[in-house]
Amino acid sequence: MPTDEPYQGTVGRTFDESTPWWPELNHGPAGAPNVVVVLLDDVGYAQFGCYGSDIATPTFDRLAAGGLRYSNFHTTSLCSPTRAALMTGRNHHTNGMGRIVEFASGFPGYDARIPKSNGFISAMLKAEGYATFALGKWHIAPAGEMTPGGPRDRWPLGQGFERFYGFLWGETDQYHPDLVHDNHQIDPPRTPEEGYHLTEDLADHAIGFLKDLRAVSDRPFFTYFAPGACHSPHQAPQAYIDRYRGQFDQGWDAWRDEIFARQTASGLLPEGTALSDRPHWVPAWDTVTADERRLYARMMEVYAGFLEHTDAQVGRVIDFIDELGELDNTVVLVMSDNGASSEGGPKGSFNETYFFNFEPESLDENLARIDLLGGPDAHNHYPWGWAWAGNCPLQRWKRETYEGGVTDPLIVHWPARLGAPGETRHQYVHAIDVLPTLLDAIGLTPPTELDGVPQSPIEGTTFTHTFDDADAASTHTTQYYEMLGSRAMYHDGWKAVVFHPMPFAAYDGSDPFRPFDEDEWDLYHVAEDFSETVNLAAQRPDKLAEMVELWWSEAEAHNVLPLTNMPQGADSRYRREHYEFYSGTGSLPEVAAPRLRNRGWRAAAQLTVPDDGCEGVIATHGSASGGYVIFVKDGRLQYAYNHLGSSLTTVPAEVDLPPGPVTVRVEFTPTGRFEGDVALFYGDVLVGQGHVARTTRVTYGVAGFSVGSQRGSAVSPAYSGRFPFTDGALGRVVFEPDGRPYRDPSGEAAAGMAIQ
């Protein structure tokens, strides 16, 4: 639609001699449906009630009963890549999103910079008169651009959304989220003590956006609702958790068998589907101790409560659309971005940051905190046995290219159009097919130009032809997969697949350092063996060779090369030897924060101390799950180091701050790998010192760095809330990290540095 139409009235010398004219309002295509896309996070193939689970998901089940349930929907196996594919209709490497944004590298398929030639569906629909709203998780902008200083052209409002309420990073604490409203950071409207939970807040704002729209316009809307659920931390109101008490005491083996029976009876699975075997690295439930069973069952109860609570919040949004009288002509899609997550490790986690730092957890410590699971003091994740069961009947899980990593639930609900509610569709569908399907359903064609930028070809294909015909052939016949070195190739009902582990994650016993050309691929005829139970590689070497050759061809065509299984880590363009900040600096992601781990550093802050003293956070990185904070309390400078939420070292000054101008300084000197001495200074006077026996190896998680206040949960229990620094008393804050990480006398660098 043109934005600057020629004036079609007349302008005379006076009002009486003139004819006013108003351009026609753009109300979208006649009869165009509303669109709601609900994208859940880390929810496995079998975890909805309508996909075989006994977790209560009445909203999702109701939508499936009144719509269509797809049994063969595929994603990329990781969140940022799937979200990019969903929004653009192009493959993840075509979008530069070969992995999550935090693992970007300087190659076209991996730079996390989605080209403007790969336009978003939000921008396409906005151009056609749709109101466009995004809520929840974004995670598809370069990590270094998800900062208060911008740029913002890859934030939601720069990609065709008119309003946004949510968080930019890969996960967030449900009780202490790092929130963004439109283009600016905000604080949550309530505290956990006041009953705050992020998913409820997202539903409130989704309903609020629709109320605002309908107060002035009847334009169709596109609402993208992407809660943090059910990514870790698994957190939900206590009442939702407690209603599952005892429900998973039978363990993951028996629970999986029960799911498979329900899936088979409901017609979800293609005829003849077998239940894949339990892998050797997932322990049988009857081999774990009684204490472990008690802990693991409770962790699953928390997850179930989290999922049911999420279903209830989505239900509130759906019910409001129904109250508007518009649900009949609203296309609702519900899906997940990848398979269930194994990131809780074999034993689960009270604090998932342990997993990302390759640190073992203590069973006794986790048992001592079992009643805190799911609450604001935990950052928990269930053991990977539940992830394996939650992907029933499939192999593997998130981050891998076997079906358990890339096959997810998909529900399509549209009463005005679907003629066979409650049926199941078995056609092969992929996340890149969602955009062309929605455009086709609305009656639009992909634009050749968007906001003045010529558009690349859409790589997905519509599946609207399956809405009315259960026997229609799938039009998506070829699809490559690659994630962190693992690969797969689907073509005409066949699939070749290989797992290539990352370093520090070779739990199946394979060698993460073997050459890619030495990988041994599996071959499955998934048209007849949906769950990949019969490996035909030895019987059909000709077919396997054909599929592997096709994978290399597709890889070259879609920017998949160069192959690596290393996460790579932060964008080196943001590394500095000198950082300067001022009070009120908003939350910075890890890539843009001072890099202090496993190296020496100095931090200095200019204070102007009032006669009656001052207090507050000077600078902090992390949360109650781990990090550090420099702060002033009780008239003295203090430094606190929180190691993974399990130990806290506080080094206080021994004298009060003097009134007036003073520069305070903190210096850290490594004395070994992941340990060191701390010294505090007022000017050049040493006022405190101590030793940190254990520092974080790799990451503080997604909690950001901020100056002048704490965002999220407090690193130290010495303060609470934001603990802002006394107004006007904090000036410039400078960090100077040493250029190279500490190495021990043998010359060995710190393990895990590659993914810092």
pLDDT tens digits, one per residue of 119-141: 999 999 999 999 999 999 999 99
* Cα dihedral: 379, 380, 381, 386 (round 10): -160
Provide DSSP, 194-208. Answer: GT--HHHHHHHHHHH
For 310, phi then psi, to 5°, come to: -65, -45
Closest CA to 340 of 283, 294, 299, 381: 381
Count CB-CB contacts under 10 A for residue 753.
Answer: 14
pLDDT at site 569: 59
The enclosing H or E element of 257 equals helix 251-266
Domains annotated on the chain, with CATH: 34-69+120-141+161-419 (3.40.720.10), 478-557 (3.30.1120.10), 572-755 (2.60.120.200)
Residues near 572 by beta carbon (within 8 Å), at least 6 away in sequence: none
Q: Which amino acid is at 221?
A: F
Whether residue 2 has pLDDT greater than 80: no
Q: Quick one: pLDDT band at residue 609, thresholds 50, 70, 90?
A: very high
Provide DSSP, 45-95. Answer: TT-SGGGT--S--HHHHHHHHTSEEEEEEE--SSHHHHHHHHHHSS-TTTT
List the Cα angle 610/611/614 in 5-degree steps: 45
* Whole-number Å distance between alpha carbons of 53 and 255: 9
Cβ atoms of 432 and 446 closer than 8 Å: no
pLDDT at site 576: 84
Q: What is the mean pLDDT of residues 243-266?
A: 98
Whether residue 427 has pLDDT greater than 50: yes
Cis peptide bond upstream of 446, omega within 30: no
Q: Say which range, 234-238, 367-371, 567-571, 641-645, has the weakest mean pLDDT.
A: 567-571
Highest mean pLDDT among 3-12, 360-369, 520-529, 735-744: 520-529
Q: What is the mean pLDDT of residues 554-575?
A: 85
Whether residue 740 has pLDDT greater than 70: yes
Q: What is the mean pLDDT of residues 105-122?
A: 96
User: Could you give the 3-state DSSP secondary structure of residue 123?
Assistant: helix
Whether residue 437 has pLDDT greater than 80: yes
pLDDT at site 20: 95
pLDDT at site 571: 64
pLDDT at site 749: 39
* Whole-number Å distance between alpha carbons of 410 and 424: 10
Residues near 30 by beta carbon (within 8 Å), at least 6 away in sequence: none
Closest CA to 406 of 523, 530, 263, 282: 530
Whether residue 575 has pLDDT greater than 90: no
* Whole-number Å distance between alpha carbons of 230 and 238: 16
Closest CA to 661 of 616, 609, 605: 609
By the 10 Å C-beta count (0-12 exposed, 13-18 middle, 19+ buried), 236 is classed as: buried
List the Cα angle 18/19/22 in 5-degree steps: 135
Closest CA to 400 of 356, 341, 354, 348: 341
Task: Give me 654's structure tokens.
Answer: 């021994």
Q: Quick one: pLDDT band at residue 570, thresholds 50, 70, 90?
A: low
Can you name the residues that pair with 39 across neighbouring β-strands? 335
* Whole-number Å distance between alpha carbons of 504 and 359: 11
Cβ atoms of 462 and 436 closer than 8 Å: yes
Closest CA to 687 of 731, 728, 639: 639
Task: Give me 308's structure tokens.
Answer: 């049911």
* Whole-number Å distance between alpha carbons of 387 and 252: 9
| Residue showing tokens 């006022």 | 687
Cβ atoms of 334 and 314 closer than 8 Å: yes
Whether residue 1 has pLDDT greater than 80: no
Whether residue 755 has pLDDT greater than 60: no
* Whole-number Å distance between alpha carbons of 721 and 331: 41
CA atoms within 13 A on the CB side of 541: 2
Q: What percent of the chain has pLDDT over 70?
A: 97
Closest CA to 236 of 327, 179, 313, 169: 313
- Using CA of residue 95, residue 101, residue 107, residue 113, what is the dihedral sign? positive
In Å, the largest CA–CA distance within the chain is 93
Give Cα separations from 91 to 231, 334, 479, 558, 585 (angstroms): 23, 20, 9, 7, 36
Q: What is the mean pLDDT of residues 141-159?
A: 93
> Can you give the C-alpha Rg of the chain in angstroms?
27
Closest CA to 742 of 732, 728, 721, 756: 756
Whether residue 322 has pLDDT greater than 70: yes
Closest CA to 263 of 442, 87, 453, 54: 54
Count, residues in the chain:
756
Residues near 179 by beta carbon (within 8 Å), at least 6 away in sequence: 165, 166, 167, 185, 186, 187, 188
Closest CA to 554 of 640, 482, 626, 659: 482
Residues near 173 by beta carbon (within 8 Å), at least 6 away in sequence: 198, 233, 235, 376, 379, 623, 703, 712, 713
Mean pLDDT (the chain) is 94
Return the axis-axis angle of helices 290-323 and 251-266, rounded to nearest 10°. 40
Q: What is the mean pLDDT of residues 280-286?
A: 97
Cβ atoms of 525 and 496 closer than 8 Å: no
Task: For 473-507, write each residue's pLDDT tens digit.
Answer: 999 999 999 999 999 999 999 999 999 999 877 88
Whether residue 750 has pLDDT greater than 50: no
pLDDT at site 572: 65
* Whole-number Å distance between alpha carbons of 74 and 64: 18
Q: What is the mean pLDDT of residues 4-33?
A: 91
Q: Say which range, 217-221, 471-475, 583-587, has the weakest mean pLDDT.
A: 583-587
* Cα dihedral: 715, 176, 335, 315 (round 10): 160
Edge-to-edge strand list for the sheet holding 685-692: 579-581, 730-737, 601-609, 660-672, 675-682, 685-692
* Whole-number Å distance between alpha carbons of 540 and 534: 12
Closest CA to 618 of 663, 649, 659, 677: 663
Task: Report the b/e string of 106-133 with b at 16+ CB within 10 A.
Answer: ebebbbbbbbbebbbbbbbbbbbbbbbb
Whether residue 751 has pLDDT greater than 60: no
Provide DSSP, 569-619. Answer: -S-GGG--S-EEE-TT---B-GGGS---TTS-EEEEEEEEE-TT---EEEE
* Whole-number Å distance between alpha carbons of 238 and 251: 22
